Structure 1
């Protein structure tokens, strides 16, 4: 290939290939001038009004009493107006409201055949994608709500003029490219930025050639997903990629900004050189018209205050289930089945998505859908979801009410709890023979799995039963599952979820407190856990702890466990946002555990149990009935107190678990069984096991800590009961649980000891970053090496993160601390402090953004707990360079002239980037000077002191606004001074270099400033009419001025001056 692109930037590496494929998928590319016109020439416009109006006319007619007529123009325009986002209640609510309108349409009154009635107007034809119009725009500039510099979006996809998808493109090779792209999109969604655009957006994509992910509005970084097709797409996609564009399509795409790339892409097209990149696969999977509409309509929903879109396993299992149940067999039944999607992968939401899809399925008349779940919060989600299908779900109040609802064959959605449903099918016969009845059960509890099938066949003989499970089926259960129709593909195992990063890995550590409770063992353990305390504190704690002679053996064990839990959580997790659960044997033990934790006073906790007379899920052999009279009385007193405080069991559960999920406390929940199944609190990081659990119940329990949460790298299981023996490899677990099929469960759990074994390797890898320095690896040499090499610096950050994370895990493990030489532990601690200090210094020296707040919290916790340094290292937000005293104090803390100069240079360059719109000439010129000084220093033609002096001089020029060779007449007029820079650049290009001509530029800058001030109005940066008036007046003035002074200024030069001036004016006078 003869043509080489000028640089490996986003344009040709990601953005243009993405745009080209989207054109091949059926989108029409809009050139900037076409986009501007379609937006009504509004800088802040996000709807393509003219296109939307045309489509509303095309898609909507009124038929009544044999007559047909179009909607009135007034109603069509009203339909556009009502689609405007209302952001008073936040972006999420605005997006929800707009999705309602897009799904359900809007009713307007029209007069036809002598009657005045309401008729529904549709914005999108969901059933026939080809009847909609599909547009694509690149480099979409939108004025933000705060009136600042326009934000530029790489690609926006419009359906009937409505922006349904936003795409951010990045070049390959960036170390943290997903984080950068996601944070950029999240920043645009802020109320003062582009919230009006994202009120419409349903799908967001981040792309580069090697990787591609998707989310929706508000999706946090950990939850952005990759997509995997079930059927091979490579041949189809390869042919599509290498199908030539038409000349008209090329003329549109390669006009304007991308014109320089046309020869390159023409040669690629001739050579058939378009490969199957990650971004091409994702665009084809999600953005082809029929798939995009399907995802928006059936696979997006709102859950617990967040908007969510289906992952690949959710989408395909719903599609396959619909294919399975669409047709009746010879006996008039529909084949059901079991959906196995591992816990934490969105199983409950898959259930809701399937129910929604069933309700919208045209081949199933009047579907009756019963959702059986124990998630109370899911009921609220279900109500919102089915509103968009035109249905209002009914919650069965009693068993009798449920039976009545089941007997009613009308189209409906019913929600109930498992026990109520089981009771009805167990005690009733022939409640309904409706073949369009679907029973969707979230099988958290499977003790009655086999009985359910036989009972349901009698009560609901023609119903279709669809079971959802998050844990692997025991081999015996798989036989029963076949009676329901067997597994529905795709199953989604723990391995699948780990590979997709849909859950975090689980780490396990066995603690041996319960194996030895003699006095010597207690004293030894007391010495370990009380090490951080002063002598008076140790005495006080030992008095509380008591001795074996004062407490019976059970309470002694429990007290030691409480002490260890308190120390472990407070030392390693407290203050990081993490939460923990403590699983104990029965209700009485739960109350004792809380009493012991409260005595210690280090962590906050609450007890969550069922009513005293009701058994707990997974209850131990010694349940409530086996308790002593005194213990029962204590449990009853506790329960009465909770009912008096909260008013009802539901309010008690909601308040306590709500604080645990979203509030500051409790930090620990103490449970027996109630929340060990189906409870979803992603911030739960550690499960302390203090009771026996087996098989399915054990797997349910440990999955409480596998949910994704920002800053959470793993879930931790601390086992005090010997539930899971020491593991050399994960499959040892399943060898001790023979009732499971091992192939279902590989990789479910890893031993902490195995993870900690990697610590030496991570430490060596961190030191290897500096191997090129040899004996010169002092801190300044290390920092300088990393300052000059961004790729190596990012590698250092990643290696340090791995080392810090693994060291924190090691220090929290009793086994590692006991068997590791003290000098090795101290070496690791010293290096942790040294390299964290280096990281802080580099972040400031390079003026890098401060992100990964959760990681920062974990590192601070680690240093606080184990290093006891006088000053825990913490990266603070960068000081504004115009806050002179604070900035100077920051500079003075640095250890060398070179570090001070580097920091000033980086901070100035960052300031130039952020504020270049205010004065492009000044900042570009000063930036070139700084780059020259840096180059001189690197070439060793400047000493460190001279380098610092020149950086300080540049700093003064910025903060004092000292001009680089700027006329004094402009000293008190900063906007005119910036306009002068634009004029002077044009003068130089046109050869207007005399002093007299320079003074003419001063005169013109002052006059242009006067024009801008005279024309500006409130919110003028979002008013196209005001900006056009400014353009016209400045244009008239400059033409008169050039004629008056005989200046050689052509039309293009004047246009460049005007656009440059308006850009500065928007930044300065917004």
Structure 2
């Protein structure tokens, strides 16, 4: 029997049609009969088919397991089941995936995805080793997809900074210093300027002109897609595109009460969004979208679709030729989005990406990561590595009852657990004066303890929901799990209220409309700067630099510098010595490159060679005896840092190698022995190391080494490295 699992209705439709057309159900009569009933309509129906049915092929959406797994009949231990998973990446990182595995414990799972989670995210990889990788470059070479061209078009804006500053001074006059800083930070993080009406109008005219001149006038029925940040942006774009009279457009978004994009603000409260939805969609979302997509697939209207998140994954319309990007995209989501325009069509030579957000460096990094996937995975993840991760998760969830109790203990004085005001009273600021007459909040520590306890409980619950052993542990009932989830929602909401009560933060949505009006007034669009050239996407991160233009060579060099800085600052946090040495070498490389300014190819070669050195962590002074022992190598480097180069050279290198390996074993033992109580890991390491290192280098240096070993351990634990 075969169970076909995906994460969206349109993909389920597509897969079902492919199975039917390929004759998977047998004769034409059998195909019609079985094909119509192969799709599980509800979670309850899925449960019956899994545990009691005999259907040879079942189609279902992954989220149906959330309901199905709660039914007693939703269990089939047969090994003669094959589960085919489409889009086997992020929707399989949590609770519903584990519920599926619990329902079909002995089935064979085969997952397909165009954007697998890469090695640094292997904790979310639930399907074992990658058995076959087919890269974008190979697909282009085989002519199974169209090559992509990228061009950046920069909208130039004028911002009345003096007026903006005056506005902030006025609006924050009645706020505390912490609230004022919080509002400004949220204003910057939400990039409100990108949603300015004048900016959107400027880009809309540029999009309409570009599409009309380069696509529509060809008369081949090709179409385009505009990816924007929010529903309000989508509605504004459509209005301004309509004003041009050059193109027709349609919006495809989720319902107003569904969050879309990376927004904290509830757009369902925006009158523009509600008005548009009522006028165009109403109560017939399915019918509206069917009409729009049918028109998009034909020669008529609309010329382009405007989307936020919808249709940026799994949408395969061959006519879709150009993607206009005005939203931040990176990594997996970026690769998914650009693939919307690389499907083959007889009238399409290239898919085109037009970028108004400056994502070239993200695009280069993402393409490079996926292009050399086969080489870097070497056939996939080591199964022992994956099993080790499950073992690490297996005990984490057992802390849940204690963390849940600790969270509630903060509110022991609350008599009526249904009365929100009693909880607020516990956390409400209460001021007193210290011995020097300074006012202080006596409940500040209590709030900090609450924030910390909630964070610990939330993280532990998140880990539990992604842990197979949690669902196999019958001491945690469905009722208990529902209680944990409900309490997490309640206390998360309470935390936001408490922070506002204590004047620590502000509710950004209160200021959203004022900020939008201010930005619309003070941000003026001037022009869109024409690109100086285009990039062939599947060749990013590759081909011969000798054939590049000077501008491309300098751009590629800048990208490597950016990647190197990020790698050294973040990826090398688990190796302080390598981090310091490579940071110093990067400074030297930058200085050397500046001396080669007239020779951009030499600059590129310099940084490319250095990047390869960083990737392999080749360091002079670290012996090549630590193969597969990354942490031991880091501990050896710590000795060099603490002792100093002069004194270290005088010592016996072999002795430090052995000491580094012993420290590695001590740390691993501490992690294993304290897996149920992670807070004891650091104490165990200190207790074991201090006597050893004291005799070797004295108290102060021993303490310094131990603190750096602890830091490496923290980073390793956070990355699943033990």
TM-score (norm 1): 0.30
Greater RCO (Cα-Cα under 8 Å, separation 6 or more): 2
The structure with the greater share of residues assigned to helix is 2
TM-score (norm 2): 0.43
